[in-house]
Amino acid sequence: MILLHGTTRRRAEQILALGPDPSFREPGGLALEDGFSMNLEAGPFHFGTPEEYARGKAREFPNEGGPVILVVDVPDQIVLSAATEWFPLSQGLIQFDPGAGLEELAAVWPELAKSAQVRSVT
C-alpha cells in the first residue's frame, strides 16, 4: 500500500536514512513514545491531508527545508498489522505503534527506503 507522511524536508531525509523514530522529539517538545503515523494515499483524510500537515510543520519549523510528503510503498501485511479498533484502515490513518506494526515496519525499512520518494509540497 502506498502511504504518505507529511513533514519537513530535513525530517523526511532523516526518516529515509534511519527509519521512523517513535521517540523523536521536536525542539522544545516532550519526550514521548508516540509511534509513527502515515496516511493511506487514497485517504480518507479525517485529520487533514498530508499536504496540510506538512505545511503546518514547515510553518512551525521554518529552517527545516519546507514542506514535503514522504511516499513509501509498505507491504500490505505490515499495514494490516498496524490496524486496530482505535485505528482501523477505514479512517485512512495508519498508526504504527510498538506491538502494532512498528517493529515490522522498522525491520523492512532499509528495503522500503530504497524506493521511497520525497515530494515537495507547494
Complete DSSP assignment for 53-81: HHHHHHHHSTTS--EEEEEEE--HHHHHH
CA distance 27 to 61: 9
113 exposed, middle or buried (CB, 10 Å; 0-12, 13-18, 19+)? middle
Average confidence score pLDDT of the chain: 91
* Count of beta carbons in the 10 Å neighbourhood of residue 120: 11
In single-letter form, the type of residue at position 57 comes to: K
Tell me the pLDDT tens digit for each residue of 22-51: 777 676 665 556 789 999 999 999 889 999
**In terms of pTM, does the model score above 0.85?**
yes
pLDDT exceeds cutoff 70 at 60: yes
| Structure-model confidence comparison of residues 100 and 21, the more confident one | 100
Q: Is the pLDDT at 96 greater than 90, yes or no?
A: yes
Segment 80-92, tens digit of pLDDT: 999 988 889 999 9
Backbone dihedral angles phi then psi of residue 65, each to the nearest 5 degrees: 90, 5
